[in-house]
């Protein structure tokens, strides 16, 4: 299964979910939860974020994060690393804390942010942790319905403005909106998203797809070659594995027909490594020089005819550029 490239631009809004490895708890007590809240507050200052809602559940958390500087990847890398180091040190453990990549759905603010904040604030109720959302102290709901905020860094203004403003009327109407959801069997708003990646109206979805997801008729080959420069074959294989979500040993193994991740890595190695066909062949199971020539010809034909394969090339190259 292909792991979609992170889509970022200044002002983008995301619904973030991050779960514990093997669904194990990532918060064992209030000390852990308090530390995560402090890291979120620090992230707001460090990365100039706007966080509209957050809820810390026992083995995962939800957050609505807006990125005026288009820096979600850097934000999440710092947040996950900081909290994992803290958690492992405090609980005398090692290894991964979170289950792979975090999920980040791009959200159209005007059409879906209100519904998503309600969904987040009702998480503890749906999970049976509390009867009323205000009884749960580790979500941002109390920041919306009370005048005095605990979390000064939280962005409540935009959502409350939709209900009448940052005043008693706006807070009361927002509370009504959330409580209506308790009586209803609310579906996850993200169930309406495109493959869990984009949530919004038709025009918004079309804009994101056209700008970030559609294959460009001018393949990134020319500009990408200049931006990427020469890269070791092992690094290219590692990046293909990361983007396409296929183990590196499968990419290297010889004799696996229909292995598009392997063909992708061979093509990119020929294009970006600066190595000869013979040297490239050695990295992919001792492919001979003549066979490499035939295989590259076959891959180029596929690149011209297979739009999805061409898109994978673009994703890997953009991933390499972003790391450069």
Let me know if residue 5 belongs to a domain.
no
Q: Which of 27-36, 50-59, 300-309 has the lowest mean pLDDT?
A: 300-309
| DSSP codes joined into one string, 89-156 | HHTT--S--B-SSPEEEEE-HHHHHHHHHHHHHTHHHHTTS-SSGGG-TTBTHHHHH-SS-S-TT---
CA distance 98 to 61: 11
The share of the chain scoring above pLDDT 70, in percent, equals 90
Q: Is residue 7 part of a domain?
A: no
Q: Which residues contact 31 (CB under 8 A, 6 or more apart)?
A: 90
Task: Give the pLDDT score at 1.
Answer: 44
We report the CATH number of the domain holding residue 73 as 3.30.70.1290
Is residue 275 one of the residues assigned to a domain? Answer: yes
Q: Which two tokens stand for residue 81?
A: 């690393």
For residue 2, being part of any structural domain is answered with no
Asked if residue 114 belongs to a domain, the reply is yes
Q: Domain range for residue 192? A: 12-212
Q: Are residues 229 and 131 in the same domain?
A: no
pLDDT, residue 255, reads 64
Reply yes or no on whether the pLDDT at 315 is more than 60.
yes
In the prediction, which pLDDT does 223 show? 44
b/e per residue, 18-57, with b = 16+ CB within 10 A? bbbeeeeebbeeeebbebbbebbeebbeebebbbbbbbbb
Residue 260 within a domain: yes
pLDDT at position 215, please?
41
Residue position matching structure tokens 């074959």: 233
Half-sphere exposure in the Cβ direction for 52 (13 Å, CA): 27
* pLDDT of 175: 96
- In Å, what is the CA distance from 237 to each residue of 145, 240, 294, 309, 310? 51, 5, 20, 16, 17
Count of CB atoms situated within 10 Å of the CB of 140: 26
Q: What is the largest CA-CA distance in the chain?
A: 76
More confident residue, 192 or 313: 313
Q: What percent of the chain has pLDDT over 90?
A: 51
Mean pLDDT over 141-166 rounds to 94
The pLDDT tens digits of the residues spanning 79-125 come to 999 999 999 999 999 889 998 889 999 999 999 999 999 999 999 99
Determine the pLDDT at residue 319: 73
Last residue of a domain, one of 166, 196, 212: 212
Residues 223 and 208 occupy one common structural domain: no
CATH number at residue 317: 1.10.1750.10
92 shares a domain with 28: yes
Q: Is 161 a domain residue? A: yes
Estimate the crossing angle of helix 30-47 against helix 72-90, to 10 degrees.
150
| Segment (H or E) for 81 | helix 72-90
CA triple 12-186-203, angle to 5 deg = 35
Residue 239 has a pLDDT of 87
Instruction: State which of 177, 212, 247 marks the end of a domain.
Output: 212
More reliable by pLDDT, 30 or 300 = 30
User: How far apart, in whole angstroms, are the C-alpha atoms of residue 195 and residue 97?
Assistant: 25
pLDDT of residue 214: 57
Question: Which of 165, 193, 212 is the last residue in one of the domains?
Answer: 212
- Which pLDDT does position 257 carry in this prediction? 54
What pLDDT band is residue 40 in, cutting at 50, 70 and 90? very high
pLDDT tens digits along 214-256:
544 334 443 445 455 688 899 999 888 888 888 888 888 876 5
Same domain, 79 and 190: yes
Residue 157 within a domain:
yes
- pLDDT digits over 48-65, tens only? 999 999 999 999 999 999
Is 204 found in the same domain as 157? yes
* 206 and 234 together in one domain: no
Q: In whole angstroms, what is the distance from residue 267 CA to residue 288 CA?
A: 15
Q: Are residues 229 and 193 in the same domain?
A: no
User: Residue 197: its pLDDT value, please?
Assistant: 84
Residue 12 pLDDT class (50, 70, 90 cuts): very high
| 176, 91: one domain | yes
- Asked if residue 56 and residue 173 are part of one domain, the reply reads yes
Same domain, 182 and 82: yes
- Number of domains forming the structure of the chain: 2
Same domain, 183 and 307: no
Average pLDDT, the chain: 87
Q: Computed from CA positions of residues 138, 140, 141, 146, in that sequence, does the dihedral angle turn out positive or negative?
A: positive
Span of 131-135, 144-148, 249-253, 257-261 with lowest mean pLDDT: 257-261
Do residue 200 and residue 306 come from a single domain? no
Reference 40, options 96, 78, 90; nearest CA is 78
Pick from 200, 175, 180: nearest CA to 189: 200
Look up residue 49 and give its two tokens. 């974020």
Distance, in Å, from the CA atom of 131 to the CA atom of 124, rounded to the nearest integer, reads 8
Q: For residues 282-291, give the mean pLDDT.
A: 85
Higher pLDDT, 302 or 25: 25
């Amino acid at each position: 299964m292909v792991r979609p490239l992170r889509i970022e631009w200044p002002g983008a809004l995301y619904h973030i979910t991050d779960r514990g490895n093997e669904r194990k708890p990532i918060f064992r007590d209030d000390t852990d939860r308090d530390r995560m809240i402090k890291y979120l507050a620090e992230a707001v200052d460090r990365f100039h974020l706007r966080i509209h809602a957050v809820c810390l559940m026992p083995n995962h958390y939800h957050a609505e994060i807006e990125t005026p500087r288009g820096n979600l990847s850097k934000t999440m890398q710092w947040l996950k690393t900081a909290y994992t180091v803290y958690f492992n040190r405090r609980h005398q453990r090692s290894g991964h804390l979170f289950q792979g990549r975090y999920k980040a759905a791009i959200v159209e603010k005007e059409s879906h942010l209100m519904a998503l904040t309600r969904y987040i604030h009702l998480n503890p109720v749906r999970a049976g942790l509390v009867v009323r959302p205000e009884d749960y102290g580790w979500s941002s709901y109390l920041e919306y319905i009370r005048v005095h905020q605990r979390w000064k860094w939280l962005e409540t203004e935009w959502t409350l403005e939709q209900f009448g403003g940052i005043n008693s009327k706006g807070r009361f109407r927002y509370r009504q909106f959330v409580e209506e959801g308790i009586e209803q069997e609310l579906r996850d708003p993200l169930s309406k998203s495109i493959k869990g990646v984009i949530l919004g109206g038709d025009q918004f979805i079309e804009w994101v797809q056209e700008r970030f997801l559609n294959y460009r008729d001018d393949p990134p080959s020319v500009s990408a070659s200049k931006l990427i420069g020469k890269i070791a074959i092992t690094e290219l294989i590692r990046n293909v594995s990361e983007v396409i979500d296929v183990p590196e040993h499968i990419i290297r193994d010889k004799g696996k027909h229909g292995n598009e991740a392997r063909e992708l890595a061979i093509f990119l190695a020929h294009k970006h490594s600066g190595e000869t066909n013979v040297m490239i062949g050695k990295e992919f199971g001792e492919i001979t020089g003549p066979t490499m020539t035939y295989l590259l010809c076959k891959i180029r034909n596929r690149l011209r005819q297979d739009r999805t394969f061409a898109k994978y090339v673009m994703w890997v190259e953009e991933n390499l550029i972003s790391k450069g």
